[in-house]
Amino acid sequence: MSYQVEQVSPIQKKLVFTVPAQQVTSELDRAYKSLAKNVKLRGFRPGKAPRKVLEQRYGKSIEQEVASNLINSNFREHASTEEFFGQPTVDKGALARGRDFEFSILLEVRPELELGAYKGVTVHFPTATVEDSVVDQNITARLEGQKALAEVDRKKVEAGDHVLVELTVTIDGETAHEHPGTMINTGGDTYYKGLDTELAGLTKGRAKTLKKVTFADDARLEDLAGKTADVKAKVTSIQAYTTPELSDDVAGELGYEGGAVGMREAIRMQLQGRIDENAKNQARANLLQSLIDSNSFEAPAGLIDQQLQALLQEIKVQRAYRGEDPKRIQFTDSEMADYRGRATFAAKASLILEHVSTAESIEVTDADLEAKYEEIATLRGQQVEAIRGYFHKENAVEDLRDRLLEEKTLDWLLEHAELSDTPVAKAEPAEEKAAKPAKPAKKKAKAKAKKAKKEEAPAAEAAEAAPAADAPDLASMSAKDLKALAKERGHKGYSKLKKDELVALLS
């Protein structure tokens, strides 16, 4: 059997095979012999059917079976060292006894890049500081989460108050309901629905008869539901939700050290940390975009498809967090065009990062992996041993190592870049650079495409560095959805947290 590799393009290889006639004949004879033993034909004893009869009835299927076996066996033997993307394309000739069988397999492969200068690249690194107003808004949100019912020093009832009321309900001159003191939410009460909104404006301590009050059909007090009555009401207590003012004591109750000043500074640092991390991610994207613009090359379609599927899955998860049914999520043509553009960016970015990491001998150590396990364990509130065991059980250690390598490479590129806080002019596209001819059997094949696992994906993953879909808007989500998200991310103790605390936890 002869075998050779042809470089069709920078991202395509053709594997050309020629199976000698002797082997073809031997394989056909073996297939027909096996068929004769198992097939049942009228008029012939098992194993005694003539070859010509078998060829007439089963010739095409036998030839297809033998051709398929020869293609698969030779591909496994000779392409085990080829790294490729997507589905190989097979082009085969006719298979016949006594003749050579020729076929070729076209693969999409990783191009061997020749990058221009990637050190000292000028990169826009946006800088910003947290405004006092933003800190104030954040503190207000946290204090809002501490709202509680309390007696208010006010004479008049306002909508939304919780009032303690002495009630006498009269229908057609007969007392239908009487209560010496019941708490009613004037902003919406299930038991006294219809009466609740009529209480606003009453004066504390003064009895008043409300004429022709109509109770809602779905009021929880069934003897009053849907009926119209006169209600004598006397408010004896007014309570309302009040938000505490920032004080040293309140700051301590919220878990901040250093009193009100310490809480303000801690929140400022937290917000600044988010801004700095976003700026760093944006700088990474700017750097990659600059390298892509200045190094023109083609990315394998199969690699782009992998990135696209990972991106679509991530977007579906985000939209599901917002309450959409994942089974009904559809994408428009314009959205798909946008996502494919992002996937192309991510595919080219991954090729560049691999080239740089190899050229600069950047590696991920076991210590790096352990640090990542600890980081994930802290975020999820779990033991490091459990996180480490999960990755080993799912055979995801190498995937995590690859992502960490991309992150380290991006950090290395930023360390060797010229950072600027002003936008940088877009680089002029370089002329198309031909990739070096790939040598057969140079790299070990990867049997399966890497699968993105959201819980362990590092921040510097190339797909995330690309212009990606917005993260969930935590502030606009309900407390129920926030708790569902906290459960999904593996946080503990979230069930008793209030909305602002959940937002802080998930930020």
Statement: residue 316 has pLDDT above 80: yes
Statement: residue 263 has pLDDT above 80: yes
Quote the distance between the C-alpha of residue 199 and its chain's center: 49
Place of tokens 């057609």: 172
| Pairwise CA distance, residues 305 & 470, whole Å | 21
| Tokens encoding 349 | 């970015």
Domain boundaries along the sequence of the chain: 2-109, 122-137+251-471, 148-242
Quote the distance between the C-alpha of residue 254 and its chain's center: 31
Statement: residue 257 has pLDDT above 90: yes
With bands split at pLDDT 50, 70 and 90, how would you rate the model's confidence at 228? very high
**pLDDT confidence of residue 433:** 41
Determine the longest span between alpha carbons in the chain, in angstroms.
112
Fold of the CATH domain 148-242: Chitinase A; domain 3 (3.10.50)
**81-107 pLDDT, tens digit each:** 778 888 899 999 999 999 999 999 999
Q: Where is pLDDT greater, at 54 or 489?
A: 54
**pLDDT confidence of residue 468:** 38
Percent of the chain that is helix, strand, coil (3-state, to 5)? 45, 20, 35
**47-71 pLDDT, tens digit each:** 778 888 888 888 899 999 999 999 9
| Burial of 90 per CB tally in 10 Å (0-12, 13-18, 19+) | middle
Amino acid at 501: E
- Bridge partners of 122, per DSSP, are 418
| Pairwise CA distance, residues 345 & 291, whole Å | 11
CATH class of 2-109: alpha beta
| Tokens encoding 89 | 């394309």
With bands split at pLDDT 50, 70 and 90, how would you rate the model's confidence at 462? very low
Q: Which positions ≥6 away from 390 have C-beta within 8 Å?
A: 396
Statement: residue 321 has pLDDT above 80: yes
Q: What single string gives the DSSP state of each residue in 87-115?
A: EEEEEE----TTS-EEEEEEEEE------
| Pairwise CA distance, residues 265 & 368, whole Å | 31
| Pairwise CA distance, residues 142 & 140, whole Å | 5
Contact 469, 486 (CB under 8 A): no
Domain 122-137+251-471 matching CATH 3.40.1500.10: the answer reads no
Quote the distance between the C-alpha of residue 197 and its chain's center: 45
Contact 157, 238 (CB under 8 A): yes
Place of tokens 């309450």: 323
| Pairwise CA distance, residues 125 & 123, whole Å | 6
Q: Which positions ≥6 away from 219 have C-beta within 8 Å?
A: 190, 191, 192, 193, 194, 225, 226
- Residue 180 exposure: Cα atoms within 13 Å on the Cβ side: 0
